[in-house]
Amino acid sequence: MKITVNNLRKTYDGKQVLSVDSLEVKKGCITGIIGPNGSGKSTLMRLISGIEKADSGTVAFEDKKASEETWKGITLVFQKPYLINTTVYENIAYPLKLRGAGKDEISRRVETMLELLELGSIRHRNARTLSGGEGQKAALARAMVFEPQLLLLDEPTANIDPKSIYIMEKAIRHINEKVGATVLLVTHNVRQLKRLCSYGIFMNNGSVEIQGAVGSLFEDLDNTPMGSFISEEFII
Amino acid sequence: MEYIMEGFKEAFKLLLSFDSEVYGIFLLTLYVTLMSTVISTIIAVPLGIMIGLKKFKMKKALIRLLYTLMSMPPVIAGLIVYLILSRRGPLGELQLLFTPAAMIIAQVTLVTPIITGIVYNSTRDRGESIRQLAHTMGANKKQAFALLIFELRADLLGAIVSGFGRAISEVGAVMLVGGNIKGHTRVMTTSIAMLQSMGDYSQAIAIGIVLLLISFGVNSILYHSQQVN
Closest chain B residue to A100, measured at CA: B139
Cα separation, A27 vs A176, in Å, equals: 10
Element (H, E) at A235: helix A225-235
Which among B130, B150, B229 has the least Cβ separation from residue A82?
B130
Q: Mean pLDDT over residues B124-138, rounded?
A: 95
How many A-B residue pairs are in contact by the CB < 8 A criterion? Answer: 43
Q: Mean pLDDT over residues A100-117, rounded?
A: 97
pLDDT recorded at residue A236? 46
Distances (CA, A) of B141 to A66, A147, B53, B150, B203: 16, 22, 13, 14, 53
Contact call for residues A138 and A91 (beta carbons, < 8 A): yes
Number of domains in chain B: 1
| Distance in Å, alpha carbon of B63 to nearest chain A alpha carbon | 21
Tell me, what DSSP letter sits at residue B115?
H
User: pTM of the predicted model, to two decimals?
Assistant: 0.85
CATH number of B134's domain: 1.10.3720.10
Pairing of strands A3-12, A15-25: antiparallel
What percentage of chain A exceeds 70 in pLDDT?
Answer: 98
What percentage of chain A exceeds 90 in pLDDT?
Answer: 81
pLDDT recorded at residue B229? 63
pLDDT in tens, B189-204: 999 999 989 988 888 8
* A13-17, A172-176, B225-229 — most confident range: A172-176
pLDDT in tens, A61-93: 998 888 888 999 999 999 899 999 999 999 999
Among left, alpha and beta (phi > 0; psi -120 to 50; other), residue B87 is alpha
Q: Mean pLDDT over residues A205-229, rounded?
A: 86
Both ends of chain A: CA-CA distance in Å? 35
pLDDT recorded at residue A232? 61
pLDDT in tens, B75-129: 999 999 999 999 999 999 999 999 999 999 999 999 999 999 999 999 999 999 9
| Distance in Å, alpha carbon of A215 to nearest chain B alpha carbon | 31
Range of the domain at B223: 2-228
Q: Average pLDDT, whole number, for chain A?
A: 93
Q: What ipTM does this complex have?
A: 0.90
Mutation choice for B interface testing from A48, A71, A79, A92 by most B CBs within 10 A: A71
Q: How confident is the model at residue A234 (pLDDT cuts 50, 70, 90)?
A: low
